[in-house]
Amino acid sequence: MKPIKLPSSFLLGSATAATQIEGGDKNSNWYHWSLKGMIANNESSIVAADHYNRVIEDINLMKEMNHEIYRMSIEWSRIEPEEGVWSQKGIKHYQDEIQALVEAGIKPLVTLHHFSHPQWFEEKGQWTNRDSVKYFSRFVKKVVSFLGDSVNEYCTINEPNVFAMDTFMDGKYPPGKKDDILSYFKASKNLILAHLKAYKIIHSERKKMGYNDTMVGIAIHLAYFEVSGNNILTKLSEKLMNYSFHQMFLNGMIEGHLTFPVGLGYPHGKGIYCDFIGVNYYSRHLIHSSNNPAMLFGEVKVEAGLPDEKLNDLGWEIYPEGLYKVVKEVFEKYKLPIYITENGIPDANDSKRAKFIYNHLKEIEKLIADDVDIRRYYHWSLLDNLEWNDGYAPRFGLIEVDYYTQKRTIRESGRFYGTICKEKEITKKMIDKYL
């Protein structure tokens, strides 16, 4: 294994999402989803990693791991628990959290929708409701006004593609629709429009406050798709999937271009609606031909017979080369700064995470050498957390959480990563010690 050197301007930290770590909120759609027994082992989001009550302890752990940046989300249901009603308690909580981060020298990147929203919004049909953009915009304006100068970087929507897929096609997220293609496209359209509107609101609101340093982007899940076999229909299915899972969202959210079937034309005018592209990358997906009538989406499988070291605890393939490929392609196309807004591994016994980090940073080193403007790496995740419908079993944390006592312990791979955050390199000595 060779040492790795990253530029000193390259920033490293980790990412989380409110529902997955905070606990305590009964107004979010995920709490209601857990009440219906829809999370593995009948688990609930109600306690999670109790981060809501342990913000300072967790920021101290970030400091211990030399974080320079941190990606977090704001729980909409804590800010607007009932339609049109703003919670001062919720607002104050996030103002204090962000203040504490800034004082710790950790720069926050704030996500405004990370898979969860208030139950009242859910009951209105969530993103399929024609007024969803209006509701979200009002929330966005509120957040920007109460965070003021303390945050200049926002991620509007996290993984609109995975969200729409898991909500309306795979039935995993509330309201658990299956193969509902119409809702998939309807919600996708609104998510795209919500981003475009939010992009404009955040810029104009901050401009009114006198700030010109605003950076707004998305966090898009880019999977590396590969066709399995030579079947012409499977190849077609891969193209359709790539379009409806990736390109359609990129067209819309970056260029403001609604393309078939979510729409036609430029509702906000031609332009560029992202100041950076946030890429969430996890794995390679092999596309097989499908018996599903919704053949459009083919069928994604992991290559048969892969050795254990190539698989994570959820059975996804570990494929670092894919990070290079998806980032290179999206950068060549749009030439916008790239942040890796998520990349990580469920690895309960911490036997693969350090190597995973090394191998993915190696790809980043190559991207930098090939003149890709890649600036950030947010490891998923700071802490073990609620992996949505898969519950608490998958362990993504650099920090281990004992859910009975809420005791935090930095894993060995977390120590390794903390040293990388500080040194911006992986030396021979670190390789010998951790890998």
Q: Is 382 in the site for ligand GAL (CB under 6 A)?
A: no
Catalytic residue flag (residue 159) = yes
* Helix or strand holding residue 195 (H, E): helix 181-208
388, 392, 417, 434: residue in contact with ligand GAL (rule CB under 6 A):
388
168, 249, 380, 434: residue in contact with ligand GAL (rule CB under 6 A):
380
Which residue type, as a one-letter code, is found at position 410? I
| Binding residue count for ligand GAL, defined by CB under 6 A | 12
Task: Please state whether the peptide bond connecting residue 413 to the residue before it is cis, i.e. omega within 30 degrees of 0.
Answer: no
* Helix or strand holding residue 79 (H, E): helix 76-79
Catalytic residue flag (residue 329) = no
Which position among 43, 342, 365, 387 bears the catalytic label?
342
Q: Is 387 in the site for ligand GAL (CB under 6 A)?
A: yes
Q: Is 395 in the site for ligand GAL (CB under 6 A)?
A: no
Footprint of ligand GAL on 338-367 (CB under 6 A): 342
Footprint of ligand GAL on 283-302 (CB under 6 A): none
Q: How far apart are CA 158 and CA 73, in angstroms?
A: 9
In the complex, least distance from residue 170 CB atom to ligand GAL, rounded to whole angstroms: 12
In the complex, least distance from residue 342 CB atom to ligand GAL, rounded to whole angstroms: 6
* Helix or strand holding residue 224 (H, E): strand 224-227
Q: Is 221 in the site for ligand GAL (CB under 6 A)?
A: yes
Q: Is 48 in the site for ligand GAL (CB under 6 A)?
A: no
Q: Is 17 in the site for ligand GAL (CB under 6 A)?
A: yes
Compute the C-alpha angle 115/35/81, nearest 5°: 55
14, 27, 158, 214: residue in contact with ligand GAL (rule CB under 6 A):
158
How many C-beta atoms surround the C-beta of residue 153 within 10 A? 21
Q: Given the complex with ligand GAL, which of 316 and 334 has the nearer CB atom?
A: 316
Q: Is 159 in the site for ligand GAL (CB under 6 A)?
A: yes
Q: Is 280 in the site for ligand GAL (CB under 6 A)?
A: yes
Q: How far apart are CA 303 and CA 287, in angstroms?
A: 10
How many C-beta atoms surround the C-beta of residue 275 within 10 A? 16
Which residue type, as a one-letter code, is found at position 369? A
How many C-beta atoms surround the C-beta of residue 183 within 10 A? 19
Which position among 75, 80, 97, 159 bears the catalytic label?
159
Cβ contacts of residue 29 below 8 Å, gap of 6+? 77, 116, 117, 118, 119, 121, 122, 126, 174
Catalytic residue IDs: 159, 342
Residues that bind ligand GAL (CB under 6 A): 17, 20, 158-159, 162, 221, 280, 342, 380, 387-388, 396
